[in-house]
Structure 1
Amino acid sequence: MQVTDLYVSAPGKAILHGEHAVVHGKVALAVSLNLRTYLRLKATTTDKVCINLPNIDTFLCWDLSELSQLIPYSFDKREEVKLLDAELVGRLRDFLGVTNGNLDTCNMATLSFLYIYISLFRSSALPSLTLTVWSELPTGAGLGSSAAYSVCLAAALLCASGAIPSPLKECDHTARWCQEDLELINSWAFQGEKIIHGNPSGVDNAVGTWGGMLRFLAGKIIPLSRVPLLRILLTNTKVPRSTKLPSIMTPVLDSVDAVSCTCEKVLSEMTCEPIRGEHYNTLEELIDINQHHLNVMGVGHPALDTLCRVTLTRGLHSKLTGAGGGGCGITLLRPETDASVIQTTVQDLKDCGFDCWETSIGGPGVQQHSPLSVKEEVLEVLNHY
């Protein structure tokens, strides 16, 4: 099979509203985070398959003859496999020496890659190629870094295997796949997430696939069309996050649900009519309300309180995103926010020992790039190997 070189990227994710309440049947809004993971697939003639993950200092190669022996005889011939193939997962674990005691980031990333690679090329000769994946997302911060990785893997390998066509035309800089192809990408990315996380919700890989904003309720994930791009500051407190849920009151959950639904309504209005200051006033009020709710639930942290206090002195509104108990927070930036205010705020937060990025939410999901559309510093990393 002739494999062609390609570049793809997928976004991270943040929870705008509804974290924790979602497990009690309330609405959560997940949004794409315009810090992206980039992948380069390069065809080679080495009779090897290699994966390079510079973020975690990992470079691994295997002979194709070794990997071919791992394909189970009873391998399912369907294009889309709903359940993980336990036999292949077991063989790959043995091959890599991965046990329950050494499920580190490198092992899980490698296992996920090899599973999708072998699964998609099982009916033909395994191709010789090198994948390089580099991410702007911090790992382990609840920002969907593993899902963006899995989405990039799925898109690139599906495209390379011929299961989906390349959407990139000759004069395009970037292009997106059609809905049917995105569904296939999402299903294979979900397989990768299962390997990494065991029992994921599917929200993170769906955000990485479709981008924009997703409504998550009772296990159902609905991508919302026409969501405005909002500027934010993303702050990582670097305090390890905690997913422990305390017992919480029903009225608080109901109020969080109302916050999520109101936010969804406001964002929808912002795509259908001229954006007004009142829209941002409401979004800021909802951020403040939800942050108070999350503190009531017991998932706040002094570092997150510091984030809210520092940004509020500059007239900016912040809340935690994700599990809480540390982790990350987002700060809404109004269109008229002066650049000097943003620079000063970022410096104030860095002085607190936090990492901070100016970025946006609501951007595109997985897409294919021409080399010309990949940021120069990213291209340099991807082409270095």
Structure 2
Amino acid sequence: MWERGLVLSAPGKVILHGEHAVVHGKVALAVALDLRTFLRLRPSAEPRVCIRLPSVGAVRSWDTLSLQTLRRGFPAELDEAKSPSVEQLETLRKFAGITAEASAPESLATLAFLYLCLAISAKYGDVPSLDILVWSELPTGAGLGSSAAYAVCLAAALLTASGAISCPMKEGDSTARWTEEELSVINSWAFQGERVIHGNPSGVDNAVGTWGGALRYQSGKITPLKRVPTLRILLTNTKVPRSTKVLVAGVKEKILKFPAIMNPVLESIDAISQECQRVLEAMPANPSAEYYPVLEDLFDINQHHLNVMGVGHPSLDRLCQVTASHGLHSKLTGAGGGGCGITLLRPDTSPLAVEAAKQDLCACGFECWETNIGGPGVTLHSSSSLSTRVLHALSEG
């Protein structure tokens, strides 16, 4: 039985450039967002596995004997290289009492946990007796990679508890990370968790959650950027719901209708992504203000392109207007049509200007965070390295 407790976290993600164009073979840049999902794992004195998800109001518990029996009854071998089958997911739904139509976050989170718990234990040993609590700073359904951060945390915790990967935390460490080889194993299993939740994900979100920093994505190929500075941003959630599927279809229709107009827009967005990559890889770890005018211009140009593609929204226009009144540059991130936007903050942007912008954005009914992009991926933490807010959430849960 696993005899140690541990706390780990994984970041969310934002798309810096390349939204929608990436669907048509162009480059997109995804970066780690320093709003994180935290997981606390403790050994259980009882022969059971319990997972608590206060963010979605779910507490589920099963005895380990039932889980081991369920695992033996699966119709096919569980493996990180094979997609979860329809039969496997149906078996899990029946076991957990989830209807086939259920798509609520707590139902999908439960299915992903059960799949990873059974699959990892099937490959590496018996189901351990564990008590797991997951708490997140990330809003769900906002396009910020919350499900991937959850899957990465689950994979890292269950793999560590099973002995498939090491526990790299040494006495006196405040944080620790796994080796590159172990991170690859975590990412493979996290991708399976994402498949349970989303069906056919790109793999970008879980890769950002695993490695952090920034990734280039094009036509299914994921490449980490060589060097990425940590940049300050405002992240704003307009709280306007949108359908990614509908927005993607709308862009496709516009390209088919006006190919001579829209294809150059896609090429321009591709050039923006590549220029941004060049600037980021040239920036030192603590960049001076001289690098920012180019990044700001790229934000402005790309935002105009995204409006031309039809994925803007009055709420996002308002966001850009409000931040521009404070001398700041913003763009949508993700699918558009509402959702979230990001605002770049220079190193010399005064705290008063940031606070004034946040107040004006909140006055619009938006939710706003001051945070960073480009930070680390999945990480082990000591209690001393965690903020009071996180410790409180993990103890209350």
Short-chain TM bin: over 0.9
Matches within 5 A, 1:11-22: 11-22=11-22
- AA at the equivalent of 1:45: A
**Whole-angstrom CA distance in 1 between matches of 2:77 and 2:4:** 24
Return the structure number with greater helix share.
Answer: 2
State the Cα distance separating 1:140 from its structure 2 match: 0.3
1:288 aligns with 2:300: yes
**Whole-angstrom CA distance in 2 between matches of 1:188 and 1:3:** 23
333, 337, 356: which is aligned to 1:344? Answer: 356
| Residue number in structure 1 paired with 2:117 | 117
Tell me which stretches of 4 or more aligned residues in structure 1 moved more than 4 Å.
Answer: 73-79
Report the TM-score when normalising by structure 2. 0.93
**Whole-angstrom CA distance in 2 between matches of 1:162 and 1:86:** 29
**Secondary structure at 1:342's aligned position in 2?**
helix
| Residue number in structure 1 paired with 2:290 | 278
| Residue number in structure 1 paired with 2:318 | 306
CA contact (8 A) 2:78 2:119 kept: no
Deviations 1:40-97 (A, max 9, x none): 0010111121111111111111122222221135777787433325543221111123
Matches within 5 A, 1:116-195: 116-122=116-122, 124-195=125-196
| Residue number in structure 1 paired with 2:238 | 237
| Residue number in structure 2 paired with 1:377 | 389
**Whole-angstrom CA distance in 1 between matches of 2:139 and 2:268:** 31
State the Cα distance separating 1:102 from its structure 2 match: 1.3
1:36 aligns with 2:33: no
- AA at the equivalent of 1:65: L
- AA at the equivalent of 2:354: I
State the Cα distance separating 1:346 from its structure 2 match: 0.2
Q: In structure 2, list runs of 5 or more residues that go unmatched.
A: 256-261
**Secondary structure at 1:233's aligned position in 2?**
strand
**Whole-angstrom CA distance in 2 between matches of 1:374 and 1:363:** 16
- AA at the equivalent of 2:369: W
CA contact (8 A) 2:125 2:162 kept: no
- AA at the equivalent of 2:108: M
Identity across matched positions, percent: 60
- AA at the equivalent of 1:113: F
**Secondary structure at 2:38's aligned position in 1?**
strand
**Whole-angstrom CA distance in 2 between matches of 1:266 and 1:253:** 20
CA contact (8 A) 2:128 2:162 kept: no
| Residue number in structure 1 paired with 2:259 | none
| Residue number in structure 2 paired with 1:250 | 263
**Secondary structure at 2:188's aligned position in 1?**
helix
Q: How big is the alpha-carbon RMSD for the aligned residues of Structure 1 and Structure 2?
A: 1.6
1:71 aligns with 2:71: yes
| Residue number in structure 2 paired with 1:206 | 207
Report the TM-score when normalising by structure 1. 0.96
Deviations 1:138-187 (A, max 9, x none): 00000000000000000000000000001111121101111110011000
After superposing the two structures, state which structure 1 stretch, 81-90 or 258-267, moved more: 81-90
**Whole-angstrom CA distance in 2 between matches of 1:158 and 1:134:** 19
Say how many residue pairs are matched. Answer: 384
**Secondary structure at 1:320's aligned position in 2?**
strand
**Secondary structure at 2:101's aligned position in 1?**
helix
- AA at the equivalent of 1:136: E
| Residue number in structure 1 paired with 2:258 | none
CA contact (8 A) 2:11 2:36 kept: yes
Matches within 5 A, 1:95-114: 95-114=95-114
CA contact (8 A) 2:212 2:377 kept: yes
CA contact (8 A) 1:3 1:127 kept: no
Distance 1:150 1:49, change over 3 A: same
**Secondary structure at 1:60's aligned position in 2?**
strand
- AA at the equivalent of 1:91: T
| Residue number in structure 1 paired with 2:81 | 81
CA contact (8 A) 1:231 1:333 kept: yes
CA contact (8 A) 2:12 2:146 kept: yes
CA contact (8 A) 1:242 1:326 kept: no
